[in-house]
Structure 1
Amino acid sequence: MRSYRRRRLLVPVLLCAFAVLAARPTAAGRQPGSGTLGDLGLSAEVVRLYEEAAAATQQYEAGRREAEEQRARARRAEELLDRQRRHIAALDEDLGRIARAQYRGSGGLPVAAQMILADSPEDLMRGHHAFSQADLAVNNAIAKSRRAEARLAADEAEAAAQWQVLEQRNSQLAALKAGIERKLEKARSQLQGQADASVAAGACRGAVRLEQPETDLTDAWVAPVETYELSASYGSGGSRWARRHTGQDFAVPIGTPVRAVGAGRVVRVSCGGAFGIEIVLKHEGGYYTQYAHLASVTVDQGEHVSPGQWIGQSGSTGNSTGPHLHFEARITPQTGSAVNPVSWLEERGVSL
């Protein structure tokens, strides 16, 4: 009786297990954009390397500022040394003048000899007074010279120590900078290689969930990248475009975080073609923005985004001659409906 009840319970459990296994997608049946564990792990590693390089850059900048301050202190010490040298030279000149004055005032005889040869007590007293004054002047000059020489020696030692610290700091900064460049090159190379493979396959790997930075943005609209140089502008001509350039290019290194310029919804994430990896957002008012030539995306189609949210990383995929972000403002999600993106952003309070 107990065995029968156990069999009755076992059948539903097995059926549920088969249903779960049947519902799980196989590796061959993944949708484009779902990604694989290996792809996501590599993307996360690239992001980690980029953040590490950014932290190292901050350390380098802090060290560079410290080195500049050390250099300024060393320059001030050198200026003090020059003043001390000039002061000692002046004291030496004073000693020479005192000696010459004594010789001329005694008719060529030392003051002590004049005292011995004095004819009267008055001459003796005058000689003693002259000798005391000359001796005091000489002693004062010698004491000043010795103090100046001591200060000079101390200042020279301090300047040498400061320059030594500066050279050590400069060596450390050079090594740190070289490490930064190696890490950045490695991160960007991995990121771009991964993106090129996606474009060649015509299928996106899926969103890499970057940890969003804490911001205090209060504006409804922002620039698509935080720091940049403007390159090809809207309407410019060139052999790379069939007619005219339809967007504004932002020259930025591979891996630079790309931001949503305003609140909206992701209506397209695609990989392949002239734009390489691209994202299209729909905003209120019927306008769309495009972000092209990316190296990775951090959002999936259908997601809602907020102003300044990281939606991808810049790259050089598709019809691109170098790392940059191609940004467009459109009245439809399709190519061919672009408006001047610089003017469009200016109307929303964003000056490029």
Structure 2
Amino acid sequence: MKKILIVGAGFSGAVVANTLAKTGNYFIEVMDERNHIGGNCHTERDPETNVMVHKYGPHIFHTSNQKVWDYINSFGTFRPFVNRVKSVYMGKVYSMPINLHTINQFFGKALSPKEAREWIESKGDSSIEDPKTFEDQAKKFVGEELYKAFFYGYTKKQWGTEPKNLPASILKRLPVRFSYDDNYYNDIYQGIPEAGYSSVIEKLFDHPNIKIHLGKRFFGEADSVSGFDHIFYTGPIDAYFSFRHGRLGYRTVFFKEHRTEGDFQGNPVINYADESTPYTRVHEHKHFTPWESHAKTIYFEEYSKETEAEDIPYYPKRLDGDMKMLQAYEAEVSRLSNVTFLGRLATYRYLDMHHIIEEALDCAEKFISEHIGK
């Protein structure tokens, strides 16, 4: 039986571990420096309020890939959940993403879908033919007023720089709708696991051929681990190589925790678009489980900052300097035959949960097929 080491007990590591273990041909050891499984998707009950808390910020599962949806539902019951985000600007609450309600409310209109489309097109900056920056993309997309209201301050807080310094690709993920549809996502399947994400990942790891070591750090190529036929690494790519080409840029977030009686804000997530408000958003976690009832509530103010050595990296910045650094690290990876780099940190990409699961499944299945009989 071949021995496999998986570094990281999040979704990437859990899916690979489960897929390999089920063949009966591999014994898998999983190592994670945190004291819990689940990575940034970890959930746990708050002892005071009994609310299921997403410890590293909100996670809503969404996908249009039926294979991924069916797969993840085999490890837990996912309740339907539609993410309806609100945004506060200048003391008023608006619906996000920008939709017909947002447009009519912001401009004091009662436009039809056709009229709203024409209105927004008239606001857009037609002189910008090929937007290269976030700011240019926004102005071309929605015009100066909506850009300043909903994107400028929020983005500056989120990324710690002027939006004109960011690539246009960041904004391309944000939709504008000329209907009253305020569902934040367009995917067919959307939900949240009834028992939390950690319960799903615990079931993925529930196999006699899988052994988990928590609170144990892996030091990349400098580590002296031996006796494994292959390593699946899901940690930061630059950390694996002891940052020899420099540290890749990330933004991280931290939270200020609050508890009170009843209902604090009436919605799971509310963004704060004004630059003068220091936090980017507030999430109230009882609203992620509307099938539960709680007398008390717990909510978090979310702040963004640069990632320092001891911080948890969240969002890859992928600026020009980062991408040049990444090329150097990828060249190092290409010379390794017994290590697979997998997941958002190991590939330095922003990936949603469904992307991570899909890639992990494909990776594990390919690994098995390539090693049959070896």
Superposition TM-score tier, normalisation by shorter sequence: under 0.3
More helix by share: 1
More strand by share: 2
Q: Which has the larger radius of gyration?
A: 1
Higher relative contact order (CA 8 A, sep 6+): 2
Q: TM-score scaled by structure 2?
A: 0.17
